Amino acid sequence: GPRLLFTVDTIVERVDFDHSYATGADVGYKALAVNVSDIAAMGGRPTKGVVTLTIPPDTDVEYVDDVMTGLMDGATRWGVDLVGGDLGGGGEVSISIALLGTPVAQPVLRSGARPGDAICVTGALGGAAGGLAVLRSGREPSDAERALIERQLRPQPRVEEGSIAGNTGCSAMIDISDGLAVDLWRVLVSSEVGCDIDDSLLPVDPALKECSEVHDPLEIAITGGEDFELLITMDDGRMDETRRRIEAAGNTLTRIGVVTDHGATIGGRDVDEWRSEAWEHLSGS
């Protein structure tokens, strides 16, 4: 039969969101978005999903309705049919979604990068981490900072961009969910290659310059997570067509470096050093 893509992802209270700043609708929307992003990162489009919602027994029905509103907003936006799921009790709110998708062309893996390939990213980096810093500060955000907050609460998976990259023959792809350093490292390990990233080329979210909680926008762009942009490797000869089509879809594509056969650096510093400063799920830091 036809090829299918399949992913599952979970977001958990006090790890991926906090009720002090996120509404139930924000939580439902983000839960679906992070799964859709996984499908987009393989050059696919999402189709059907099932949802497991875990809540404390004293949760208001209104909150559950709010979560469902966010889920349905995302489902409408990305063309997802939510076809079932489960409701359970627990000590905190968590949402797990299992999502099916179909590849537009051949599924794009993390393992296809080759020495000499260009390394590119869509959009701008660091915005979601900046938004989280503003939310945690509790202060009134500026207009520019509201855009950062939007990136944190309402991430936009790059479905169209992933489809374009898949159709134009990219060699490897991953979504930037845990930060550029971590997700780049995953591609390098899977492909058994190295990299040379020019940090002066990184598309840092310009709104970070107005965020007082962020002291080094470049560092946040490298180590901050949840931007859900795409990291793409491809032959240099395919760059112009891919960039042109992604720009026509309303986003940008920036060449930030090259795949090498050994060594792995960002701005002359080892990727492992950058990775040690980024988010690790099981360490909680």
Tens digits of per-residue pLDDT, 14-39?
Answer: 999 999 999 999 999 999 999 999 99
- The mean per-residue pLDDT over the stretch 256-270 comes to 97
The count of C-alpha atoms lying within 13 angstroms of the C-alpha of 84, restricted to the half-sphere facing its C-beta, is 1
| Token representation of residue 12 | 């958990």
β partners of residue 232: 120, 173
Is residue 133 within 8 Å of residue 211, measured between CB atoms? yes
pLDDT at residue number 45: 97
Most distant CA pair in the chain: distance in Å?
Answer: 58
Predicted model pTM? 0.95
How far is residue 252's CA from residue 116's CA, in Å, rounded to a whole number?
Answer: 22
- Cα distance between residue 53 and residue 76, in whole Å: 19
Asked whether residue 284 carries a pLDDT value surpassing 60, the answer given is: no
Q: Output the CA angle 200-37-237, nearest 5 degrees.
A: 50
Share of the chain above pLDDT 70, in %: 98
Q: Give the Cα separation of 241 and 170 in Å (integer).
A: 11
Q: What is the band of 54 on the pLDDT scale with cuts at 50, 70, 90?
A: very high
Rounded to whole angstroms, the Cα distance separating 99 from 80 reads: 9
Tokens describing residue 131: 């938004």
Query: Could you report the per-residue pLDDT of 55-96, keeping only the tens digit for each?
Result: 999 999 999 999 999 999 999 999 999 999 999 999 999 999
Torsion of CA 133, 134, 138, 143, to 10 degrees: 180
20 half-sphere exposure, CB direction, 13 A CA radius? 11
Residue 79: exposure state from Cβ atoms within 10 A (0-12, 13-18, ≥19): exposed
